[in-house]
């Protein structure tokens, strides 16, 4: 008797096949219908989470991290009243500043230009943050609870609508699948399989075919020369042929097809079930095809690499994002003798990305971003506190006119000491420059495995000034006259991305921006870091 | 003819990509016996094999859009099944799955060449399934999937030594069982 190694003895099990119980297809069908809902739910939830995170994080950071809180009440104005009136302005959307400026005298109101009033309407979002913060504690609580209420009210509605949407879709699917003629096919197939099992006679522990395949042992393989494969003499072919033999007798036309099926020899047994005539022919052809493909499988790794390279699909991606940004003073720059402080803001945008290759991509889009700075303890002279103050005249050589409003003269520290006047007040100066930016970035993929990927992005951007706002102790006093209408800058960021559903990804993107020329002849925070959260769909 | 069939299979795959139930059924009919056979070889009992089979087939249909029509479709499906099987086995284990450390003194058992009588596939399957999970997994991957120890080690997150050790012990157990059958029959 010939000797065998363990591997040889078990080599017949390599192509072991067994017909699964018929009920399994039904269960698979059920499962195929279910996960969609889950996946869609995940998609919606992740989108909502991203949006919520993007919106909440800036607020949280602003309220918890801002050192400006204490300064707000130090100024000469009644901050609370200003804040409250600003809120009214926002809600009523009126152009009148009468309510907003209750604490200011009437002269001041007259000086405020109509243009400025119009400008005030736009940056209300920013003011709103300051407002909520500087308000009394009770009001803060109220406003917070209101906003929570709003969120709570909105969220269930959204969920409800989503659920409805999903439910209706599901119903449609169920309906359509229920009515589908495929149901018949399914039944037929299952019936076919069960019939085939019965046809084998013996109820096996695993299935009936396993027993029919028993003769397909290694010894059969070894003793039958390879050339004899075409004879289809082994039992496996026999059971395929048995199933069809009657039909073949009646229908000689099918003999050719049967021959083809036979030429595949025992390879057919791989599928281990008596197939219909048509299926067995197709199966035989499939086997031939598989044989042809098999050598390619050996170069699997190479092909996978090639796949990635040649993957022409999913070259484009569209992303929406929202996040928090903080403008920083990296050079210890000073305005009017005071150090510029950092300032937090929000950023939103949409961008599209084009994958040039497996590793490289370019992207561009639009982004609403804000560059800002705060300067604490800025000295100024106000018309309110000085009855002899004549607008325009006071703007002497020693005074720095940051804002385009002659109502307030901002004075540098050195001038303040020289003047030693009682009319000089100090407060916090906030400056915000909002831009619509168009970045152009190059991305390099440093990590891409399974569902996760990490890209490093760098590039430049051009921004158009859309809002220019200067506030003194939370009260808008005009615009920074030295702000450039167009800015340029460079950006460096890293995108950490995770696929949540088919072609949909969520990402987090820490970024650094450098603005080259926000202002003319004045120092301003030029460096900005940001953290964006977003959703990305490839197509 | 081949082109005709290739087109047919591609047609079914494309139908599956559109979530078409008829296409899914065709793919199921064509490939389920082989894939169910794999599940039976990896799992100790039939119920577990059925569970994994269902779950893996669902994954196949869900991920079918990722198939790029290059290479064997059956091979692509097999990889999904094997990954799912290993994932399930890993989840199932409560004790450490691959604790064995390779010991060259004890683990290099001289492989005997056996004189055996022809054995039924069902019997062979029973022997494989009687192996402990970790031995069975390595044995399946090495003998049937033709994977190298390095690849097995990477896949199972074990050392190459552990992989070798598990394979040797699996072979040793199988060898003993086959010899016992042989002795029983000859006696």
The answer as to whether A141 is a domain residue is no
pLDDT score at A281: 57
Q: Do B70 and A7 touch (CB under 8 A)?
A: no
User: Six-digit token pair at B137?
Assistant: 């997994």
Q: Do B124 and A177 touch (CB under 8 A)?
A: no
pLDDT score at A421: 67
Q: Do A186 and B25 touch (CB under 8 A)?
A: yes
pLDDT over 90 (residue A507):
yes
User: Above pLDDT 70, what percent of chain A?
Assistant: 42
Question: What's the complex ipTM?
Answer: 0.81
Q: Which of A8, A11, A28 to mutate to test the interface with B (most CBs of B within 10 A)?
A: A28
Q: Do B111 and A6 touch (CB under 8 A)?
A: yes
- Give yes or no for B21 touching A (CB within 8 A): yes
**For residues A234 and A256, what is the distance between their CA atoms, to the nearest angstrom?**
19
Interface of B with A in 25-84 (CB under 8 A): 25, 28-30, 32-34, 36-37, 40-41, 46, 50, 53-55, 57-58, 61-62, 65, 68, 70-72, 74-75
More confident residue, A224 or B32: B32
pLDDT score at A315: 83
The answer as to whether A253 is a domain residue is no
**For residues A478 and A115, what is the distance between their CA atoms, to the nearest angstrom?**
9
User: Above pLDDT 90, what percent of chain A?
Assistant: 16
Compare all CA atoms of chain B with the CA of A222 and give the residue at the minimum distance.
Answer: B118
Closest CA to A282 of B77, B26, B37, B38: B26
Question: What is the number of helices (H) and of strands (E) in chain A?
Answer: 16, 14
More confident residue, B41 or A117: B41
The answer as to whether A401 is a domain residue is no
User: In chain A, how many domains are there?
Assistant: 1
Distance from CA of B174 to the nearest CA of A (A): 8
Distance from CA of A322 to the nearest CA of B (A): 30
A498 by Cβ neighbours in 10 Å (0-12 / 13-18 / 19+) ranks as middle
Q: What is the pTM of this model?
A: 0.37
**For residues A230 and A233, what is the distance between their CA atoms, to the nearest angstrom?**
8
Compare all CA atoms of chain B with the CA of A27 and give the residue at the minimum distance.
Answer: B54
Which secondary-structure segment (H or E) carries A524?
A: none
List CB contacts (< 8 A) between A25 and chain B.
25, 28, 32
Q: Do A185 and B25 touch (CB under 8 A)?
A: yes
pLDDT score at A16: 87
User: Six-digit token pair at A6?
Assistant: 């363990």
- Strand extents, DSSP E, A412-518: 424-449, 452-472, 475-478, 486-501, 504-515
Report, as an integer, the average pLDDT of A177-204.
41
Q: Do B71 and A300 touch (CB under 8 A)?
A: yes
Tell me which range, A131-140, A459-468, A522-531, B109-118, is most confidently predicted by mean pLDDT: A459-468
**For residues B179 and A251, what is the distance between their CA atoms, to the nearest angstrom?**
50
pLDDT over 70 (residue A167):
no
Structure confidence by residue, pLDDT tens digits, B86-108 = 988 888 765 444 444 445 555 55
A339 by Cβ neighbours in 10 Å (0-12 / 13-18 / 19+) ranks as middle
Question: Of the candidates A31, A272, A288, which has its C-beta nearest B33's C-beta?
Answer: A272
Question: Of the candidates A182, A217, A270, which has its C-beta nearest B118's C-beta?
Answer: A217
**For residues A206 and B37, what is the distance between their CA atoms, to the nearest angstrom?**
10
The answer as to whether A257 is a domain residue is no
DSSP string, A402-437: -BS-TTEEEE-HHHHHHH--TTEEEEEEEEEEEEEE
Q: How many CB atoms lie within 10 A of CB A71?
A: 22
**For residues A484 and A92, what is the distance between their CA atoms, to the nearest angstrom?**
32
Q: What 3 state SS string does B39-80 have?
A: HHHHCCCHHHHHHHHHHHHHHHHHHHHHCCCCCCHHHHHHHH
Q: Which residues lie closer than 8 Å to A387 by C-beta, 6 or more apart?
A: none
Structure confidence by residue, pLDDT tens digits, A307-328 = 555 455 578 899 999 999 998 8
Compare all CA atoms of chain B with the CA of A24 and give the residue at the minimum distance.
Answer: B54
pLDDT score at B136: 92
pLDDT over 70 (residue A372):
yes
Give me the residues of chain B with pLDDT under 50, please: 1-2, 4, 95-102, 187
Report, as an integer, the average pLDDT of A207-229.
39
Q: Do B37 and A209 touch (CB under 8 A)?
A: no
What CATH number is attached to the domain comprising A336? 2.40.160.20
The answer as to whether A172 is a domain residue is no
- Give yes or no for B109 touching A (CB within 8 A): no
- Strand extents, DSSP E, chain B: 114-115
pLDDT score at A438: 93
List CB contacts (< 8 A) between B21 and chain A.
29, 177, 180, 182, 186
List CB contacts (< 8 A) between B143 and chain A.
7, 10-11, 14
DSSP string, A347-388: EEEEEEEEESSSSEEEEEEEEEEEEEEEEEEEEEEETTT-TT
pLDDT score at A120: 45
A99 contacts A86 by C-beta, under 8 angstroms? no
The answer as to whether A116 is a domain residue is no
A513 strand-pairing partners: A491, A528
Terminal-to-terminal C-alpha distance of chain B = 54
pLDDT band with cut points at 50, 70 and 90 for residue A447: confident
pLDDT score at A58: 60
List CB contacts (< 8 A) between A9 and chain B.
114, 116, 119, 124, 174, 178
Report, as an integer, the average pLDDT of A412-428.
71
The answer as to whether A36 is a domain residue is no
pLDDT score at B57: 92
CA A254 to chain centre: 56
User: Six-digit token pair at A322?
Assistant: 């929202």
Question: Of the candidates A18, A205, A303, which has its C-beta nearest B71's C-beta?
Answer: A303
Distance from CA of A362 to the nearest CA of B (A): 24
The DSSP bridge pattern shows strands A504-515 and A486-501 to be antiparallel
- Return the SS3 of A439: strand
Domain range for A492: 316-375+431-538
Report, as an integer, the average pLDDT of A375-385.
72
Cα–Cα distances (Å) from A524 to A44, A230, B51, in that order, read 40, 85, 64
pLDDT score at A247: 43
Query: B130-160 in b/e burial notation, b at 16+ Cβ within 10 A?
Result: ebebbbbbbbbbbbbeebebeebbebbebee
Which residue's structure tokens are 């969120």?
A151
pLDDT score at A332: 76
Report, as an integer, the average pLDDT of A193-198.
39
pLDDT score at A389: 47
Sign, CA torsion A256/A262/A267/A272: positive
The answer as to whether A504 is a domain residue is yes
pLDDT band with cut points at 50, 70 and 90 for residue A209: very low
């Amino acid at each position: 008797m010939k000797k065998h190694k363990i591997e040889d003895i078990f080599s017949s099990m390599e192509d072991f096949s067994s017909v699964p119980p018929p009920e399994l297809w039904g269960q698979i069908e059920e499962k195929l219908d279910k996960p969609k809902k889950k996946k869609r739910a995940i998609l919606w939830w992740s989108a909502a989470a991203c949006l919520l995170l993007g919106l909440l994080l800036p607020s949280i950071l602003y309220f918890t991290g801002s050192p400006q809180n204490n300064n707000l009440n130090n100024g000469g104005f009644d901050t609370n009243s200003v804040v409250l009136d600003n809120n009214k302005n926002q809600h009523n959307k009126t152009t009148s500043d009468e309510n907003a400026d209750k604490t200011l005298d009437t002269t001041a109101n007259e000086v405020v230009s109509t243009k400025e009033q119009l400008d005030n309407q736009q940056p209300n979002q920013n003011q709103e943050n300051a407002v909520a913060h500087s308000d009394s504690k009770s009001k803060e609580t109220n406003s917070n609870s209101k906003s929570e209420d709003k969120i709570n009210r909105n969220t269930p509605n959204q969920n409800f609508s989503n659920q409805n949407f999903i439910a209706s879709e599901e119903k449609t699917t169920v309906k359509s699948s229920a009515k589908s003629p495929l149901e018949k096919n399914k039944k037929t197939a299952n019936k076919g399989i069960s019939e085939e099992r019965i046809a084998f006679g013996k109820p096996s522990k695993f299935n009936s075919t396993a027993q029919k395949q028993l003769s397909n042992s290694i010894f059969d393989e070894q003793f039958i020369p390879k050339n004899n494969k075409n004879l289809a003499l082994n039992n496996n072919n026999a059971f395929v042929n048995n199933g069809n033999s009657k039909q073949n007798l009646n229908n000689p036309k099918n003999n050719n097809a049967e021959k083809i099926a036979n030429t595949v020899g025992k390879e057919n047994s791989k599928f281990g079930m008596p197939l219909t005539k048509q299926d067995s022919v197709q199966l035989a052809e499939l086997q031939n095809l598989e044989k042809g493909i098999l050598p390619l499988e050996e170069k699997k790794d190479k092909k996978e690499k090639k796949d990635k390279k040649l993957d022409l699909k999913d070259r484009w991606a569209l992303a929406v994002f929202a996040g928090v940004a903080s403008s920083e003073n990296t050079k210890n720059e000073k305005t009017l003798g005071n150090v510029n402080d950092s300032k937090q803001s929000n950023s939103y945008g949409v961008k599209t990305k084009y994958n040039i290759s497996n590793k490289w991509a370019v992207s561009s889009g639009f982004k609403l971003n804000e560059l800002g700075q705060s300067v604490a303890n800025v000295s100024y002279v106000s018309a309110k506190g000085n009855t002899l103050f004549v607008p325009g005249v006071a703007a002497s050589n020693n005074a720095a006119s940051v804002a385009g409003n002659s109502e307030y003269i901002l004075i540098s520290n050195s001038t303040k000491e020289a003047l030693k006047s009682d009319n000089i007040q100090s407060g916090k100066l906030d400056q915000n420059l909002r831009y619509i930016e168009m970045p152009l970035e190059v991305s390099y993929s440093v990590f891409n495995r399974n569902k996760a990927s990490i890209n490093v992005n760098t590039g430049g951007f051009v921004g158009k000034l859309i809002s220019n706002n200067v506030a003194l102790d939370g009260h808008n006093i005009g615009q920074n006259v030295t702000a450039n209408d167009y800015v340029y800058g460079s950006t460096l960021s890293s995108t950490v991305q995770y696929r949540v559903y088919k072609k949909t990804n969520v990402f987090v993107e820490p970024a650094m921006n450098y603005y080259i020329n926000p202002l003319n002849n004045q120092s301003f925070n030029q460096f900005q870091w940001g953290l964006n959260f977003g959703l990305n769909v490839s197509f | 003819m081949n082109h005709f069939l290739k087109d047919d299979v591609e047609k079914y795959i494309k139908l599956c990509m559109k979530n078409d139930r008829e296409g899914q059924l065709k793919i199921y009919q064509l490939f389920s016996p082989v894939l169910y056979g794999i599940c039976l070889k990896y799992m100790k009992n039939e119920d577990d094999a059925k569970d994994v089979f269902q779950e893996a087939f669902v994954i196949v249909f869900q991920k079918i859009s990722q198939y790029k029509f290059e290479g064997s479709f059956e091979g692509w499906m097999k990889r999904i099944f094997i990954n799912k099987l290993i994932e399930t086995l890993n989840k199932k284990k409560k004790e450490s799955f691959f604790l064995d450390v390779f010991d060259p003194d004890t683990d290099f058992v001289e492989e005997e060449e056996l004189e055996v009588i022809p054995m039924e596939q069902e019997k062979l399957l029973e022997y494989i399934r009687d192996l402990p999970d970790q031995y069975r997994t390595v044995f399946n991957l090495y003998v049937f999937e033709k994977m190298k120890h390095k690849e097995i080690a990477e896949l199972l997150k074990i050392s190459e030594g552990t992989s070798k050790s598990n394979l040797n012990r699996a072979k040793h157990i199988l060898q003993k069982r086959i010899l016992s059958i042989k002795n029983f029959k000859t006696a």
